[in-house]
Amino acid sequence: MPYRFLENIAIADIAFEAEAKTLEGLFAECGKAMAETMADTAKIHLREKKEISAEGKTSEELLYNFLSELVYVKDVDSLIFRKFEVKISDGKVAAKCLGDSLEKIGAGNLRNDIKAITMHLFKIEKKKDAWKATVVVDI
Q: Which residues of 6-40 are buried (b: 16+ CB within 10 A; e: fewer)?
A: eeeeeeebbbbbbbbeebbbbbbbbbbbbbbbbbe
Q: What is the dihedral of CA 5, 9, 10, 16, to 10 degrees?
A: -30
- The pLDDT tens digits of the residues spanning 35-90 come to 999 999 999 999 999 999 999 999 999 999 999 999 999 999 999 999 999 999 99
One-letter amino acid at 60 equals E
One-letter amino acid at 94 equals A
One-letter amino acid at 103 equals E
pLDDT for 13 equals: 85
